[in-house]
Amino acid sequence: MLLINQNQVVTRPAALRELVDTLQQQAVIAVDTESNSLYAYRERVCLIQFSTHLMDMLVDPLALDDLSPLAPVFANPAIEKIFHAAEYDLICLKRDFSFEFANLFDTQAAARILGRKQVGLGVMLQAEFGVEQDKHFQRANWGMRPLPADHLTYAVQDTRYLIPLRERMAEQLRQAGLWELAQEDFERLRWVENHQNNDEEDAWWHVPHANELTPQQAAVLQALCDYRDQLARAMDRPRFKVIGSQTLHAIAQHCPGRTDELRQLPGMTPPQVRRHGRALLQAVQRGLDSEPLYPPRQPRPDERYLLRLDALRSWRKQAAHEMGVESDVVLPKDLMTRLAELEDRRPEAVQQVLQGSPWRWKRFGAQIVKVVVRGK
């Protein structure tokens, strides 16, 4: 087993500057992050892993007040940054540290472009290098300190093999004539954004089956969600670990007025009733005393848009089958949506949508133009 010790964990500004100096001299580095989404109200990056050809290092954001020295590394177009399943890591690093990125390579995206069906890092490391990962660390609390040695060893394994894995993926992409497509999709990753608003996550309409409730029950559900949110924030725990959404839905549906009625509902164990019973009953009453609630009104999509979208989906599915890949490799969802929204369906307009992906325009442009025009 490959081991790492605490001396390889950067916890001081001077060590961070030294690491940055080393990284700036590299042509390629591997990067990964670990977060505490299962253990905190607001997720944050708790560890950043780096590997070069010669070394592995871990950066501890919880011990450092300022990670801005890393910004030039991530933004440097002369340094290729290798991730596996980059989107989540990029969103987290942008959210927590406002980093910008240039010159990315995503080994998972490369595997999907090559038509691989199993693209998890553990599966790929086993297939390519005979390395086994202990998956239970994926649910570890990366916010605890000190981190045990086995956690650090697992974290390093996520980046240690990415450079040789990238070399194998790159060679296969070139041989398959898909290198240009991969480069285009890696460039698209630079602009990935997190569109989820944490402050709205506990709004009642996000609870599964909330649309089955009456407007007054919806008001009760919102009052229950507000209580859960306040408690989760105070405890610094994820909402689902305080009270499950299924339980809140059941309470809103039945609107119990007494503790014995509350006990009969799914998820309301004796400890839950003792801990939250009175507050939940008060929340139910607040909801019953409130104005009825209705979900946000969504504008009805244009019928022509729906026809074009359906036509594009059908074409994309067939093209993906012929290419031996998943549908979104042929045409990512955001591009498909923009194409369906086109009112100007001249070839020039379609090409404008695909300007960031010349490979797709060259390979599929004529077909897409026909689909968009026919789907009017």
Q: Please check whether residues 246 and 141 belong to one and the same domain.
A: no
Which of 288, 319, 351 is the C-terminal boundary of a domain? Answer: 288
Residue pair 132/157 in contact by the 8 Å Cβ criterion: no
Q: Please check whether residues 63 and 133 belong to one and the same domain.
A: yes
Structure tokens at 141: 């609390």
CATH label of the domain that carries residue 52: 3.30.420.10
What is the structure's pLDDT at 184? 98
What is the structure's pLDDT at 298? 81
342 domain-assigned? yes
Q: Please check whether residues 249 and 162 belong to one and the same domain.
A: no
Which of 225, 256, 288 is the C-terminal boundary of a domain? Answer: 288
Angstrom distance (rounded) from CA 72 to CA 68: 8
Cβ-Cβ contacts under 8 Å for 38 (sequence gap 6 or more): 139, 141, 238, 241
Q: Please check whether residues 40 and 185 belong to one and the same domain.
A: yes
Q: Prior bond to 301 cis, omega within 30? A: no
Q: Please check whether residues 72 and 170 belong to one and the same domain.
A: yes
CATH label of the domain that carries residue 267: 1.10.150.80
What is the structure's pLDDT at 194? 77
Phi first, then psi: what are they for 5, rounded to 5°? -120, 170
Angstrom distance (rounded) from CA 120 to CA 138: 12
- The upper half-sphere exposure of residue 270, i.e. CA atoms within 13 Å in the direction of its Cβ, equals 0
85 domain-assigned? yes
Domain count, the chain: 3
Q: Please check whether residues 103 and 136 belong to one and the same domain.
A: yes
284 domain-assigned? yes
Q: Whole-structure pTM over 0.85, yes or no?
A: yes
Residue pair 221/202 in contact by the 8 Å Cβ criterion: no
Q: Please check whether residues 122 and 253 belong to one and the same domain.
A: no
Q: Count CB neighbours of 98 within 10 A.
A: 10
Q: In what order do the strands lie in the sheet with 45-51?
A: 9-10, 56-59, 45-51, 28-35, 80-83, 104-106
What is the structure's pLDDT at 32? 98
What is the structure's pLDDT at 376? 52
Q: Please check whether residues 31 and 67 belong to one and the same domain.
A: yes
What is the structure's pLDDT at 224? 97
CATH label of the domain that carries residue 309: 1.10.150
Which of 162, 189, 216 is the C-terminal boundary of a domain? Answer: 189
Q: Please check whether residues 183 and 50 belong to one and the same domain.
A: yes
Angstrom distance (rounded) from CA 46 to CA 218: 36
Q: Please check whether residues 72 and 10 belong to one and the same domain.
A: yes
Low-confidence residues of the chain: pLDDT under 50: 1-3
76 domain-assigned? yes
Quick one: DSSP state of residue 240?
A: G
72 domain-assigned? yes
Q: Please check whether residues 185 and 215 belong to one and the same domain.
A: no
State the residue range of the domain holding 343: 303-374
